[in-house]
Chain A
Amino acid sequence: MDLIFLQLLTGLAGASTLFLVAAGLTVIFGVTRVVNFSHGSLYMLGAFIAWSLLSRLPREPDYFVLGVLGAAVATAVIGAVLEVVLLRRIYRAPELLQLLATFGVVLVVQDVALWVWGPVDLSLPRPRWLRGAVEIAGLRFPFYDLVLIVVGPAVLGGLLLLFHRTRWGLLVRAATQDRDMVAALGVDQRVLFTSVFALGAGLAGLGGALALPQGSANLNMDLSVIAEAFVVVVVGGMGSLGGAFLAALLIGVLQAFGIALVPKITLVLVFLVMAAVLVVRPHGLLGKPQAMARGEVEALAPIRPAGPALQVLGLVALLAAILAPFVAGPYLLSVLTEAAVAVLFAASLHVMMGPGGMASFGHAAWFGVGAYAAAFAAKGLGAGMAVGLLLAPFAAGALALLVGAFVVRMSGVYLAMLTLAFAQIAWAVAFQWVEVTGGDNGVLGVWPDGWAADKPTMYWLALLLCVGGALVLRRALFAPFGFALRATRDSALRAEAIGLDAHRLRLAAFVLAGAGAGLSGAVFAYAKGSVFPTYMAIPHSVDALVTVLLGGVQTMAGPVVGAVTFTVLQSWLLMGDFWRIKLGLLIIALVLAFPTGIAGAASAVWDRWRGRAA
């Protein structure tokens, strides 16, 4: 009994910090419509700054409060700077590019934190008063847990008062509904947005600072908390504070008991809960159907077949790729093989994101399933490479069919989060089902058949399968299926009215994308000779997103350009120390410079040049 009670308490205490982070995220999203990937970085900065302050201040309770508040304020200031310098410039950019830019911030902050605070986990020597316990009704409660349990509802109450009893709050609520109208009534949106962002960042910083005494400030806390905060916000309903609070309680308690009872599946449990909630309530517990915020015009340029010039350019590039092994050394050849794999991986995601209008955060899942299918064919069945390469797209496609049946009913951010959830489950299975997948050690020795064992042959095979696969996908998009899919993306209602089955079309695109990614995963597995759970992890999914967005969503050449650029960047420019900050700044610069991606920008320049010539 006592144990259960204590566990509940731990859960509620954890829920409080989780709520603080999620509240900041949801407030920022509500007003700016930006899904802030870097919110976890602000949380991490809050913890680090709190460590710097608290380890210098006297260890008394009032100084503790001072230090925590100081960290929150400092994080709020950092958030304000971030808003002014970066986010303000991209409010009108497509949602996914904003997400990508904030992911660039994540990378930058990771290296800045590494540089300032070093790689070692920093924990706080806990003074006695912090470790104490309080006796209530014969039970001893850890004092700090009680503090945290009080902080959550107190902050919720404060925020509700702020939003419902002040003019600032009123303007913020109005801006979440129609920001252009608010501006037309004489309100300076920039001040409003900057202050909202600072508030959200401050909440994240407060959460990080409060979490410090029970853990440590470390470089992994940004991505782990952002995944949980996303779950909380989505389960609660985007933009709903009350929903975020309920969801934080649910997730916090679930985690506390999960870790105590079945530590292995805690992660899976959390994401299963999210999936279950979203299937029953597609907009979260207290969320409302998300109307397109006014003033947000996302002009999607139609996808056109490549013009003659681009076709020639493509053929030349392909010819160069085919001839490459005659001049390239082994290292360059392995980079080129990776580039070929990245092309198909990106092209398959592009099918979903561009013409399908479904942005996936978990595309690496299908890549991983394909890779493990190849590994299973090689190790489990003892079969040759042909079997593995054939099995992979079918395995990934079949699983995508199963998952897609749930997922394609959602749209926008919810769909992205659900794909993330399934990818996390897939990753957890690969990571924890050691008997079959080898866990973290992976599956080794997935080698190609003898005839393809030398590097150039394997490269040509990869080129054939991946470029061929990408061309098949391209063909599908210029077939009636592709037109119908794009019609469905532009207006599901109108598409249904002319007799298109939106659900089936989206599902077909989802399965096609999954199968394509599966094939690329299998090729990668044979090229590398091994398969690891990291193939399915979040960063790999982000790689795919970066690749597609880098190239441009609304061009067919985009994924190809993006994949080659990204692979080359990763292999040369971004090696060694502080590669994250380089990549992060590069991503941010690219988003600011080319809001339509490299290929999009190039085609715009080309059109202008042609227009002038004509």
Chain B
Amino acid sequence: MMLQVENLHAGYGGAKILRGVSFDLAAGEVLVLLGRNGAGKSTTIKALMGLLRPTAGRVRLAGADIAGWEPHRIARAGLGWVPEERRVFPELTVAENLEVGRRPAREGLAPWTPERLFALFPNLAELRQRPGARISGGEQQMVAIARTLMGNPRVLLLDEPGEGLAPVIVDLMAEAILALKREGATVLLAEQSLAFASRVADRAVILETGRIVWDGAIDALLADTGARARHLQV
């Protein structure tokens, strides 16, 4: 297993958000984390990344237990986080944004370079010298993904990459994720939209009030109308 999450607990102050989240992610797999608003999808991602200190549980990344580590060590160990709000550095150019993400190559993975990333996101190639604040939301999302890939992560954590973007850009995102999958990338995707998830994911887990309530192949979920009604419909 590339990533194993066991009984993860986390929260903000007194509010317990995650109450024992467990799931596995195999190398080369795209797993989607589904759930209603407030189910704990973003919190799970933040707890994995060390931005929120887990109160209990274990997170194994390629064998090492990274729970409780500081974010920069977790990033170095191979988790690459693309935040929901994108958080592109507004006063750095697109090229500089990518450079901030640069980390040494990782054994067994073809190292990412700006050239390979501009091939993955052709729109960005012309924007190299444009400040991060002066590109569109969709372009910022691409920069955020490309910047994280520059760190050659073992697992890519994507938090709602399609949120707030025009349908045509959402299509581009889906294609990019599929392209990454063909390259052998391992992806954990937090997503609200089952439609988007079904286009890119192999497997799905559903979060409800801080616990995993469903785990299986995405096709099985698409077939299981009862589970969808119980856990996803609003």
Q: In chain A, what residue has the closest Cβ to B151? A: A186
* Cα(A185)–Cα(B76), bound, Å: 8
Complex contacts, A184 vs chain B, CB 8 Å: 49, 51, 71-72, 75, 81, 83
Interface size of A by CB at 8 A reads 18
In the complex, the answer to whether A186 meets B76 with C-beta atoms within 8 Å is: yes
Inter-chain contacts of B103 with A (CB < 8 A):
185-186
B172 adjacent to chain A (CB < 8 Å):
no
B99 to chain A: closest residue by CB = A170
Chain A residues contacting B101 (CB-CB under 8 Å) are: 185-186
Q: Is the CB–CB distance between A174 and B75 below 8 Å?
A: no
- Chain A residues 121 to 175 lying within 8 A of chain B, measured CB to CB, are 167, 170-171, 173-174
| Complex Cα gap A189–B89 (Å) | 16
**Across-interface contacts of A187 in B (CB, < 8 A):** 72, 100
Contact with B along A572-607 (1 / 0, CB 8 A): 000000000000000000000000000000000000
Query: Given A181-B83, A185-B147, is A174 in contact with B71 using a C-beta cutoff of 8 Å?
Result: no
Which of A170, A174, A186, A188 gathers the greatest number of chain B CB atoms within 10 Å? A186
Tell me whether A173 and B72 are in contact in the complex, defined as CB-CB below 8 angstroms, given that A167-B99, A185-B148, A186-B103 are known contacts.
no
B202 within 8 A of A: no
Tell me which residues across on chain B come within 8 A of A177, comparing CB atoms.
89-92
Say yes or no for B171: interface residue by CB 8 A criterion: no
Verify if A453 is at the interface (C-beta below 8 Å from B): no
A189 to B100, CA, bound (A): 13
B16 within 8 A of A: no
**With a CB–CB cut-off of 8 A, which chain B residues contact A167?**
99
A454 to B129 Cα, complex, angstroms: 76
Closest chain B residue, CB of each to CB of A299: B13
Is B116 among interface residues, defined by CB-CB distance under 8 A? no
Q: Smallest distance from the beta carbon of B52 to chain A beta carbons, Å?
A: 11
Q: Is A183 an interface position by the 8 A CB rule? A: yes
Assembly CA distance A180 to B100 (angstroms): 13
> Per-position contact with B for A250-290: 1 when CB-CB < 8 Å, else 0?
00000000000000000000000000000000000000000
Are A178 and B87 also in contact (CB < 8 A) when A184-B51, A184-B72, A185-B151 are? yes
- Please, which residues of chain A bring their CB within 8 A of the CB of B70? 183
For the complex, would chain A's binding face be called helix, strand, loop or mixed by DSSP majority? helix
Inter-chain contact B72/A189, CB cutoff 8 Å: yes
Chain A nearest CB from B129 CB (Å) reads 13
Interface size class of B (residues with CB under 8 A): 20 to 34
On whether the beta carbons of A174 and B81 are closer than 8 Å, the reply is no
Assess the A170–B49 pair: CB atoms within 8 A.
Answer: no
* A173, B72: Cα distance in complex, Å: 17
CB pair B91–A173 under 8 Å, yes or no, is yes
> Is A86 an interface residue when CB atoms closer than 8 A count as contact?
no
Residues from chain A with a CB closer than 8 A to the CB of B91 are: 173, 177
Which chain A residue has the least Cβ–Cβ distance from B157? Answer: A184
User: Hey, what's the 0/1 contact readout for B125-155 against A, CB within 8 Å counting as 1?
Assistant: 0000000000000000000000110010000
* Residues 16 to 73 of chain B near chain A (Cβ within 8 Å): 49, 51, 70-72
Q: In this assembly, does B96 line the interface, its C-beta being within 8 Å of a C-beta of chain A?
A: yes
Distance of A72 from chain B, by nearest CB (Å): 29
- Minimum C-beta distance from A180 to chain B (A): 7
What are the residues of chain B within 8 A of A185 when measuring CB–CB? 72, 75, 100-101, 103, 147-148, 151
* Across-interface contacts of A183 in B (CB, < 8 A): 70-72, 75
> A178 with B89: in contact, given A170-B96, A184-B49, A185-B100 (CB under 8 Å)?
yes
Which listed residue, B72, B83, B147, touches A188 by the CB 8 Å rule? Answer: B72
Residue A182 interfacial (CB < 8 Å): yes
Instruction: Tell me which residues across on chain A come within 8 A of B89, comparing CB atoms.
Output: 173-174, 177-178, 181
Q: Give complex CA distance A171, B97 in Å.
A: 10
Q: How far is the CA of A177 from the CA of B49 in the complex (A)?
A: 20
Complex: how many Å from CA A387 to CA B190?
A: 71
Q: Answer yes or no: A88 CB below 8 A from chain B CBs.
A: no
Report the Cα distance A167→B98, complex, angstroms.
12
- Asked if A173 and B147 sit within 8 Å, CB to CB, the answer is no
- B92 cross-chain contacts in A, Cβ below 8 A: 170, 173-174, 177
Contacts of A89 in B (CB 8 A): none
**Docked complex Cα distance between A294 and B88 (Å):** 12
Residues of A with Cβ closer than 8 Å to B? Answer: 167, 170-171, 173-174, 177-178, 180-189, 294
B residues neighboring A (CB under 8 Å): 49, 51, 70-72, 75-76, 81, 83, 87, 89-92, 96-97, 99-101, 103, 147-148, 151
Could you pull out 23 A-B pairs where Cβ atoms are within 8 angstroms?
Answer: A170-B96, A170-B99, A170-B100, A173-B89, A173-B91, A173-B96, A174-B96, A177-B91, A180-B51, A180-B71, A181-B83, A181-B87, A181-B89, A183-B72, A184-B71, A184-B72, A184-B75, A184-B81, A185-B75, A186-B101, A186-B151, A189-B72, A294-B87
Told that A174-B92, A185-B100 touch, could you supply 16 new A-B pairs with CB distance under 8 A? A170-B92, A174-B96, A177-B90, A178-B87, A181-B83, A182-B100, A183-B72, A183-B75, A184-B49, A184-B75, A185-B103, A185-B147, A185-B148, A185-B151, A186-B75, A186-B151
